[in-house]
Structure 1
Amino acid sequence: MTQPQAPGLTDVPETMLWTLHSRAQEAMRADGVISDDKAVEIYQGLDYDFERNFGRSNPMAALRAQLFDRVVSAFLEEYPGASVVNLGEGLETQRYRLAEVPCEWFTVDLPEAIAIRERFMQPDARHEHIPLSATDRAWMKRIPRDRPVCIAAQGLFMYFQEQDVRDLLGDIAMQFPRCHLVFDVIPHWVSRASVLAGGLPLTRHYRTPIMPWGVYRFLLKSQLKSWVGRSGDVSLLDYPPFPRGPARLASKAAPLMPGARQWMPFVVKVTLR
């Protein structure tokens, strides 16, 4: 058996291990909300003290992945044979969870992230790896223009400055005439706390990178319409409720309270035609 290897990641790329921790631990539960054998394989193949750095796992990233799967699956049902581009994909294993859906997948991430990804997931005829930052517009030249494309970003844009998010979304809208965008957003208060504290301390041993971009929910639709410069539909999607324990009741009740959604993370789906 191959010995687990240290990932050797720091800063934003290291956050892929945080989300892997959530998905793999949830997938290993008998009552887990996600089935993700590949995530478990990767989790067990890394020499890394997940609990020391990130603490006891919670299902937040697994719930987010479940929601992204739902959105991407609906897109591919509507447009069979379309393209899916995952920005900052890291060790996300969506291609395995949606393996039965015919499409072409593109992973765009920093070279060091692609290097660790390729220890466990190799590119092939349907899955292309592009070792570039999402902010390097050169990746756009690698994506076919003759079919619709879904461009997804999980756990990425909060690490960008607002101007970088604005410019990137505007350029995507300009370059891809038939495009669906899906990305997650943290509320402004989380971003502000992160910036003031120099990152959020998850444990005594790990502090997240700062998260410069967060926005209150009620502002986002108008902002996006001005940023993309095209007509389109914008949907704001709530995370699924926590699957168990006291958090389940709280996560079901919170969205029903006036103003509570402004304090919660959410997922954005933008349809440009």
Structure 2
Amino acid sequence: MSPAPLNPVSTVDAAPVLCGVPQTMLWTLHNRATESLRPDAWFRDPEAERIFQSIAFDYRAHFGRPDSSHATRSQMFDEALRPWLAAHPGGMVVELGCGLETQFQRCDDGRVRWLCVDVPDAIAVRERYLAPSERCRHIVRSALDLSWMDEVEASKGVFVTAQGLFMYFPEDEVGRLISAMAKRFEGGELMFDTIPRWFSRKTMDGFDVTRHYRAPPMPWGINRDEIEAALRAWSPHIASVQHEPYRRFRTFPARLGLWMAHIPPLAKFLPAIVRVRFARE
């Protein structure tokens, strides 16, 4: 049974009409908000709760039982970002493929400058629930349109995040994008997530999450033991690469990943969270 809402809202909107990759913003919202609404939650996201309760949408029918995966991912990104913000007061965070992610609202330290970058359909939905501000600007652009980089003021440091994004791009586009960032943002950082090759193939064949929802194709998959070599092949400006599997799940069989992570021959087949530091010239 889903937990009862903790923060009732006065109005409920009709579900936004979305398809393809932009619709995944409702999937990730479902997983983050339902974890946050649990009485025993290990991840709190009040703004996700508010938006989740504000949209008249049958999340369970479309996306199935929440598995906490996206809450885990967001928590791991938050845990990496908060110390960086403390070390780079007034630095800039660029959130590629922002959708309805509420990391700015969770991590805002009163000084950070933030750019939310996404395609027009996604930004239009975002702005129904999350207004831009002087320190949290919305950029209506695909991450693959490198002109978003011209909006970045990097003098106090740059941290680029891409949650649930790169797997939807062809591999050569991922390489081009990461190479451009590494060259442009000297000393900056990038954090993103990956899916293994077997799961990429599954989505390309047609992955039905439920009978009401088929996940978009995810053409870029990479095994964990291939990540660092791929990044260094794409760019000579990579200073360091770290990666780790997701730390927790609530549902089976996803929880098997916690066991597989300790077995090297199997660990490479798990999704990963990757953190990259770009070199200084």
How would you bin the TM-score normalised by the shorter chain?
Answer: over 0.9
Distance in 2 between the 1:249 and 1:21 partners? 19
| AA matched with 2:179 | G
Runs of 4+ in structure 1 deviating by more than 4 angstroms, as ranges, are 244-249
State the SS of the aligned residue for 1:263. coil
Say which is worse superposed, 23-32 or 232-241, in terms of deviation: 232-241
Distance in 2 between the 1:170 and 1:68 partners? 21
Give the aligned partner of residue 151 of structure 2.
142
Is residue 228 of structure 1 aligned with residue 235 of structure 2? yes
Contact 1:90 1:113 in 2 (8 A): yes
Give the aligned partner of residue 83 of structure 2.
74
**Identity rate, percent:** 40
Give the aligned partner of residue 246 of structure 2.
239
Give the aligned partner of residue 261 of structure 2.
255
Distance in 2 between the 1:153 and 1:218 partners? 20
Quote how far apart the aligned CAs of 1:249 are.
6.4
Distance in 1 between the 2:255 and 2:95 partners? 32
| AA matched with 2:154 | R
Distance in 2 between the 1:83 and 1:57 partners? 32
Is residue 175 of structure 1 aligned with residue 181 of structure 2? no
Is residue 162 of structure 1 aligned with residue 167 of structure 2? no
Give the aligned partner of residue 219 of structure 1.
226
Contact 1:20 1:43 in 2 (8 A): yes
Quote how far apart the aligned CAs of 1:194 are.
1.2
Distance in 1 between the 2:151 and 2:218 partners? 29
Contact 2:89 2:156 in 1 (8 A): no
State the SS of the aligned residue for 1:77. helix
Give the aligned partner of residue 83 of structure 1.
92
* Offset from partner CA, 1:142-196 (integer Å, 9 cap, x none): 110322100000000000000000000011112111210000000010001111x
Alignment of 1:189-204 (within 5 A): 189-195=198-204, 197-198=205-206, 200-204=207-211
Cα 1:246/1:141, change in 2 over 3 Å: closer
Give the aligned partner of residue 5 of structure 2.
none
Say what the alpha-carbon RMSD is for the aligned residues: 1.5
State the SS of the aligned residue for 1:31. coil
TM-score normalised by length of structure 1: 0.95
Distance in 1 between the 2:258 and 2:218 partners? 26
Give the aligned partner of residue 269 of structure 1.
275
Q: How many residues get paired?
A: 270
Distance in 1 between the 2:257 and 2:248 partners? 5
State the SS of the aligned residue for 1:134. coil
Give the aligned partner of residue 209 of structure 1.
216
Distance in 1 between the 2:67 and 2:111 partners? 32
Contact 1:135 1:168 in 2 (8 A): yes
Contact 2:94 2:160 in 1 (8 A): yes
Gaps (5+ residues) in structure 1?
Answer: none
TM-score normalised by length of structure 2: 0.92
Quote how far apart the aligned CAs of 1:254 are.
1.8
